[in-house]
């Protein structure tokens, strides 16, 4: 029996969460190092999985399958295609940086008020590891019901991370900050819980359909795809469309897609910066990933039927998110609305249903994770030093903290997809893939690039340039720990910006499989007849 690598990659952070939580309360530093060690171990396993994955081999590799509840067709089925193995690696890569950036975010609160609570450091780091375990299993699961369990379960630790460990630089008082944290956490939970419950109804409907046609109900993605390919399983048009809508709604909330996005600015604004990275760079990627794995593979005809509406919603997300980012006074909410715009690009690429569009969307998931992590974490260092996240409270930072300002600029330039940095390649592919099939939508989507340049450059100009404002004079530059957090992310942005081939070679075969599922081929260019 081969080593269960995928199970180990998800189990290690789960065990780490238990070990971290079990560290005695007085040994907070030991708890941090314990959590960091487990996250680095998970990264090693994720890298091994990437190395062992053969892009030219079977679609799903490193598979594991065990009967769970036989009478109900439940299986513990794991497997990764090229897209999933890259997303597992991205998750495992970002978690250690999230921990290092939030190294002091759960330390005891200081101040003259004796009633101020001590923050449970062990709980903070244990919850991060728990989220990692559930996200990894969501990327690995090839049983639909198993996927649903972890898709929903990750909401619980995220709820406590948002509501229990909020941003200390809140513009209101401590009581107002606690109220806003609670509101953001509840809104995050309710939006995603409702989406998940609607998907559960669709999962039950899918199970009933397989039971009726195959004689035995199943949740196995591979069994359903094989049965459909052989002609044993076929959904009626109306049934397929209703089931697709149930799945897509849940993923559109998680992604998030306009108009289901409103929980994201609240959650990112009230959470600590590392937790905000966890939300948008890790957890939200499950939504767009699931559109590729489940919506397009299980419901190909319904996906094509819904494409025109989804493309319009994606276009609205791009423009709307960028416009709201331009008008923000709060640094973290600006980055949140920028992410809404970026997720619009990802969904646009997925449903353009071209090889360039879907490859670009997959690369965008990776590159957005890295670029947003870089920008948000540096923004968090900046906010912590000033004690404010309001843009107007900053000015002249580059004169007193040039390294901080320089890394902030690189993160911002990556966010606006500057050529030479990783997001440019993915955004370019999305636009090319969209334009080849929907030229009008592709042209309109380019407006998002213009607006991105506006909100990023204006943000940098207002915070980093000009005269040094009061409260900025003594601002410290990045410390060694903070440089260790940011430098590898910037190096990756530069490397993947000029040489995206290693990631593209892994994901492209999976993209071809997905396009084959929906019976789509790239449009052939129209050539004028020679006179």
pLDDT tens profile 185-219: 899 999 999 999 999 999 999 988 888 888 888 88
Pairwise CA distance, residues 207 & 223, whole Å: 12
pLDDT tens string 336-348:
999 999 999 999 9
User: According to the model, what pLDDT value does residue 377 have?
Assistant: 92
- pLDDT tens profile 462-480: 998 888 888 788 888 889 9
Contact, 113 vs 392, CB < 8 A? no
- State the Cα–Cα distance between residues 374 and 363, nearest whole angstrom: 17
CA-to-CA distance for 364 and 342, rounded, in angstroms? 8
Of 441, 405, 407, 436, which is closest to residue 421 (Cα–Cα)? 407
Q: What CA–CA distance (Å, rounded) separates 102 from 116? A: 20
Instruction: Tell me which residue has tokens 């071209």.
Output: 354
* pLDDT greater than 80 at residue 527: no
Would you call the peptide bond into 149 cis, given omega within 30 degrees of 0 as the criterion?
A: no
Structure tokens at 521: 């081929």
| 418 close to 410: Cβ distance less than 8 angstroms | no
Contact of 343 with 257, CB cutoff 8 Å: yes
Chain centroid, CA 17 distance in Å: 21
Higher-confidence residue of 402 and 113: namely 402
pLDDT band for 68, please (50, 70, 90 cuts). Answer: confident
The radius of gyration computed from the CA coordinates of the chain, to the nearest angstrom, equals: 23
Distance CA 120, CA 126 (A): 10
Cβ(197)–Cβ(204) below 8 Å: no
DSSP lists the bridge partners of residue 390 as 330
Confidence of residue 1 (pLDDT cuts 50, 70, 90): low
Reduce the DSSP state of residue 23 to 3 states and report it.
Answer: coil
- The residue with tokens 């892009």 is 55
Token digits of residue 106? 């759960």
Average pLDDT, the chain: 88
Whether the per-residue pLDDT at 530 is higher than 50: the answer is: no
Let me know: does 506 contact 85? Beta carbons within 8 Å.
yes
What whole-number distance in Å separates Cα of residue 344 and Cα of residue 431?
12
Tokens of 530: 């020679």
- Stretch (H or E) spanning 80: strand 74-80
Tokens of 260: 């289901």
- Using alpha carbons, list the distances in angstroms from residue 346 to 63, 210, 284, 299, 315: 27, 31, 12, 19, 10
Tokens at residue 152, please?
Answer: 């929903």
pLDDT, one tens digit per residue, over 293-310 is 899 988 989 999 999 999
Contacts of 236 (CB under 8 A, 6+ apart): none
Q: Which helix (H) or strand (E) covers residue 114, if one does?
A: none
Q: Tokens 């995220």 identify what position?
A: 158
* Helix (H) or strand (E) run with residue 77 in it: strand 74-80
User: Which residues face 61 on adjacent strands?
Assistant: 80
Q: Is the pLDDT of residue 236 over 90?
A: no
Whether the Cβ atoms of residue 279 and residue 269 lie closer than 8 Å to each other = no
The number of residues making up the chain comes to: 531
287 is written with which tokens?
């939504």
- Name the band, by pLDDT with cuts 50, 70 and 90, for residue 324: very high
Question: Which tens digit of pLDDT belongs to each residue from 90-112?
Answer: 999 999 999 999 888 877 765 54
C-alpha separations of 26 from 22, 35, 117, 120, 122 in Å: 11, 16, 15, 10, 10
**Is the CB of residue 364 less than 8 Å from the CB of residue 415?**
no
The structure tokens listed for 188 are 């995050």
Between CA 91 and CA 369 the distance in angstroms is: 9
Beta bridge partners of 64: 78
Give Cα 183 to chain centroid, integer Å.
22
Q: How far from the centroid of its chain's Cα atoms is residue 225's Cα?
A: 26
Residue of 147, 250, 115, 150 whose CA lies nearest to 194: 250
Angle between the N-to-C axes of helices 263-270 and 331-352, in degrees from 0 to 180, rounded to the nearest 10: 140
DSSP 188-248: HHHHHHHHHHHHHHHHHHHHHHHHHHHSS---BHHHHHHHHHHTS----HHHHHHHHHHHH
């Amino acid at each position: 029996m081969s080593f269960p690598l995928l199970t180990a990659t998800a189990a290690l952070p789960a065990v780490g969460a238990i070990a971290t939580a079990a560290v005695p309360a007085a040994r907070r530093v030991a708890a941090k190092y314990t959590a960091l060690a487990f996250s680095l171990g998970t990264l090693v396993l994720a890298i091994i999985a990437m190395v062992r994955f053969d892009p030219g081999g079977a679609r799903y590799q490193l598979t594991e399958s065990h009967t769970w509840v036989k009478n109900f067709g439940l299986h513990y089925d794991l497997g990764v295609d090229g897209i999933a193995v890259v997303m597992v690696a991205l998750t495992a890569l970002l978690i250690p940086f999230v921990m290092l950036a939030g190294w002091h975010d759960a330390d005891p609160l200081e101040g003259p008020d004796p009633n101020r609570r001590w923050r449970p450091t062990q709980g903070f780091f244990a919850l991060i590891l728990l989220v990692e375990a559930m996200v990894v299993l969501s990327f690995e699961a090839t049983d639909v019901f198993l996927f649903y369990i972890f898709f929903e379960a990750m909401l619980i630790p995220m709820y406590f991370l948002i509501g229990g460990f909020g941003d200390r630089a809140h513009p209101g008082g401590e009581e107002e900050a606690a109220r806003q944290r609670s509101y953001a956490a509840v809104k995050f939970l309710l939006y995603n819980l409702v989406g998940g419950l609607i998907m559960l109804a669709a999962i039950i409907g899918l199970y009933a359909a397989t039971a009726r046609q195959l004689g035995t109900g199943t949740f196995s993605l591979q069994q359903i795809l094989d049965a459909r390919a052989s002609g044993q399983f076929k959904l009626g048009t109306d049934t397929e469309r209703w089931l697709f809508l149930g799945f897509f709604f849940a993923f559109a909330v998680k992604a998030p897609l306009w108009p289901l996005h409103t929980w994201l600015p609240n959650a990112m604004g009230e959470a600590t910066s590392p937790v905000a990275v966890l939300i948008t760079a890790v957890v939200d990627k499950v939504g767009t990933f699931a559109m590729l794995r489940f919506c397009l593979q299980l419901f190909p005809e319904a996906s094509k039927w819904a494409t025109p509406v989804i493309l319009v919603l994606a276009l609205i997300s791009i423009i709307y998110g960028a416009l709201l980012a331009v008008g923000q006074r709060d640094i973290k909410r600006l980055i949140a609305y920028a992410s809404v715009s970026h997720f619009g690009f990802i969904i646009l690429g997925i449903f353009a249903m071209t090889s360039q569009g879907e490859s670009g969307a997959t690369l965008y998931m990776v590159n957005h994770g890295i670029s947003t992590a870089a920008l948000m974490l540096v923004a968090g260092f900046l906010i912590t030093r000033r004690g404010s996240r309001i843009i107007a409270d900053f000015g002249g930072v580059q004169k007193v903290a040039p390294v901080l300002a320089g890394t902030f600029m690189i993160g911002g330039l990556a966010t606006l997809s500057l050529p030479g940095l990783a997001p440019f390649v993915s955004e370019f592919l999305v636009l090319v893939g969209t334009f080849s099939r929907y030229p009008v939508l592709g042209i309109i989507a380019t407006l998002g690039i213009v607006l991105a340049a506006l909100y990023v450059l204006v943000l940098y100009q207002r915070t980093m340039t000009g005269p040094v404002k009061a409260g900025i004079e003594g601002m410290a530059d990045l410390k060694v720990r903070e440089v260790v957090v940011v430098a590898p992310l910037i190096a990756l942005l530069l490397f993947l910006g000029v040489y995206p081939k290693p990631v593209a070679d892994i994901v492209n075969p999976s993209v071809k499989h997905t396009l084959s599922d929906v019976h789509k081929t790239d449009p052939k260019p129209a050539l004028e007849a020679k006179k």
